[in-house]
């Protein structure tokens, strides 16, 4: 199970993890990239630790938007969140999400950071933490 810091700078740090269940208090203030789906249960794990932002796999979005439901949940707390397309990165594989993930959905808090749909997740987050 992968969990590692992949970027760091004046704007914070990025931690990737195969599963959001691996988030701990040590990750507080980080941008977390998790290869978990963006469903409500994943959002609840993300709320357990104060994060600067969190990005999931959209898991094909699913019935009634179940694969991206965490974005609204996190927006309710003002936490930037988004997903990468399941066609750009494998679900459950954080290194693949980091290297190949293309942003598919964002909440308003993430848009407020200047992140854009269609952009590379890695490029977007590296820009944020290095500025």
- Mean pLDDT confidence for 42-69: 96
pLDDT confidence bin for 1, thresholds 50/70/90: confident
25, 10 contact by CB (below 8 A): no
Q: What is the pLDDT of residue 131?
A: 86
- 123, with CB counted inside 10 A (0-12, 13-18, 19+), is exposed
pTM of the model as a whole = 0.95
Query: Which residue, 58, 62, 69, is CA-closest to 102?
Result: 58
List pLDDT tens digits, range 114-128.
Answer: 999 999 999 999 999
């Amino acid at each position: 199970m992968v969990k590692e810091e992949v970027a760091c700078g004046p704007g914070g740090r990025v931690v990737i993890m195969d599963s959001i269940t691996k988030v701990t208090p040590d990750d507080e203030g980080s941008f977390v990239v998790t290869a978990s789906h963006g469903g409500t249960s994943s959002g609840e794990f993300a709320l357990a630790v104060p994060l600067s932002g969190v990005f999931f796999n959209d898991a094909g979005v699913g019935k009634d938007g179940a694969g991206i439901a965490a974005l609204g949940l996190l927006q309710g707390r003002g936490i930037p969140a988004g997903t990468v397309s399941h066609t750009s990165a494998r679900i459950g594989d954080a290194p693949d999400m980091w290297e190949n993930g293309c942003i598919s959905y964002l909440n308003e808090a993430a848009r407020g950071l200047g992140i854009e749909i269609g952009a590379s997740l890695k490029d977007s987050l590296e820009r944020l933490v290095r500025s």
